[in-house]
Structure 1
Amino acid sequence: MADTVEEHPHLRVLIVDDHPLFRSGLRAALDSAEDIDVVGEAGDAETLGALVADTRPQVVVMDVGLPGISGTEAVRGLAASHPGLPVLMLTMSQDDASVLAALRAGARGYLVKGSGRDAVLSAVRTVATGGAVFGPEIADRIAALLSGARRALPDQPFPELTRREGEVLELVARGYDNRRIARELVLSDKTVRNNVSRIFAKLQVTRRAEAVSQARDAGLGAPPPARDRRSPHPM
């Protein structure tokens, strides 16, 4: 269970982000506040549970697009292992799928990178005391989704992708390699590679595992139909 704010004069914060320069700048911004101490940093979520146990933060500030275990998966894990520990997502990802997946996993706040120092400090303090915080861009998206102005998952989990890129990402999420995707969609290997590259750029990932993680968080990669479970046809 996370420590309560009243037990410490300073608010204890853990940063999880895979960009060292951003972590450094964020740490400087947080440490500049008289009531906040950064008690630890991590570049991924692989050992996050142990780090939380060692540093006992009261708030975790985390990116969505982490290598290996995604930020959304990490939030879900913390909700199970450290219930009551608030997580503030601070990320470049603004698409509806990432926002909804993070909130469903248990995140208490969602800001985009580029938010001002005062906005970040206020968000950290707010989630620490049980509140929820969303940047202006995110609040607008949530309002639109709740009002029905946009379709939520799973119809169009990544609206920035073209229809073809969405089809390719679905198969990537199922674990198919490029060669099998080309066979399934009747495309050339080069076309599939190009689509995968564009998908990586739009999802702001550099590894296939990160794309798979985001896609599965958004509900893609469901068990394939019966015909896909048979052995592939010989070439």
Structure 2
Amino acid sequence: MQPIRVLIVDDHALFAEALAARLAREPDLVILPIADDARRALALAATERPHVLVLDMMLGAESGLDVLDRVRRTHPDLRVVVLTAMDDLDVMVRAVRRGAVGWLSKTESADLVARVIRSAARQGGWIPPESLGELLRRLVRDAPEPNGGARLLADLTPREREVLQCMVDGLGRAEIAERLGLSANTVRTHTQNLLAKLGMHSALEAITLAMRAGMRPSE
């Protein structure tokens, strides 16, 4: 498989350098130069073409959420995993709504960080198990009402609905491609299109909306 290019955005130099050195030992990860602020993060995202961005929520005077917004606007395919010392469910919910696919505490092991990076690169993600239930509850609570969600789903093409059903079933991009007999790139295109039509930033939000509108995992 193609090596996963990883951009670390963190203004704590010692932590970032130690993490980069540890992750560089993984044969399938390529660690790019570290960014310590939004400007450098955007510049490196444009020139280095990372697959996954590992983002701290506290970047000096800058908000990690603002950096997430700016990166996602300019690089919508970039997968963002939050790695932070912040323990705030409200911020976690806001980050997921804005497109983050993972949330990790800085107290987690480097092995777990590497696994989540791999999952993110394959269209997966990771939320702490102890927070997942409340996160989903809040996403469902704030999603459009069922009738509104059903109207949004009605705008999807039959193929986009099939891809969304696979997402509700818990499948990643490669598994969706195998089930539907499509290429991974075609699945990515359908996923991007359905997210845009639903007005969602992440697969987790789209799944939440679909389930609120009545879509359920397949038998």
User: Same fold by TM (over 0.5)?
Assistant: yes
Q: Give the paired residue count.
A: 142
Instruction: Pick from 31, 49, 52 the counterpart of residue 24 of structure 2.
Output: 31
Query: Aligned partners of 1:141 and 1:18: how far apart in 2?
Result: 30
Q: How far does the alpha carbon of each residue in 1:96-151 deviate from its partner, in whole angstroms, 9 at most, with x for none?
A: 22101111111111111111122111100011111121123432542564587xxx
Distance between the aligned counterparts of 2:130 and 2:61, measured in 1? 27
In the superposition, relative to structure 1, how do residues 133 and 20 fare at CA in structure 2: closer, same or farther (>3 Å)?
same
Which of 13, 16, 40 matches 2:9?
16
Q: What is the TM-score when the length of structure 1 is the normalising length?
A: 0.56
**Which shifted more, 32-41 or 132-141?**
132-141
Which of the numbers 122, 127, 131 marks the counterpart of 2:124? 131
Residue 46 (structure 1) shift: 2.6
Bigger proportion of residues as helix: 2
Counterpart-to-counterpart distance in 1, 2:12 and 2:131: 22
Q: Distance in 2 between matches of 1:143 and 1:85?
A: 23
Residue 47 of structure 1: how far off its partner (Å):
3.0
Extract unaligned runs of 5+ from structure 2. 143-219
1:171-227 residue CA offsets vs partner (Å, 9 max, x unmatched): xxxxxxxxxxxxxxxxxxxxxxxxxxxxxxxxxxxxxxxxxxxxxxxxxxxxxxxxx
TM-score, with structure 2 as normaliser: 0.60
**Mapping of 1:53-202 within 5 angstroms?**
53-143=46-136, 145=138
The alpha-carbon deviation at position 22 of structure 1 amounts to: 0.7
Change (3 A) 1:122 1:77: same
Aligned CA RMSD, in angstroms, stands at: 1.9
Partners of 1:13 and 1:59 within 8 A in 2 = yes
What stretches of structure 1 move > 6 A for 4+ residues in a row? Answer: none
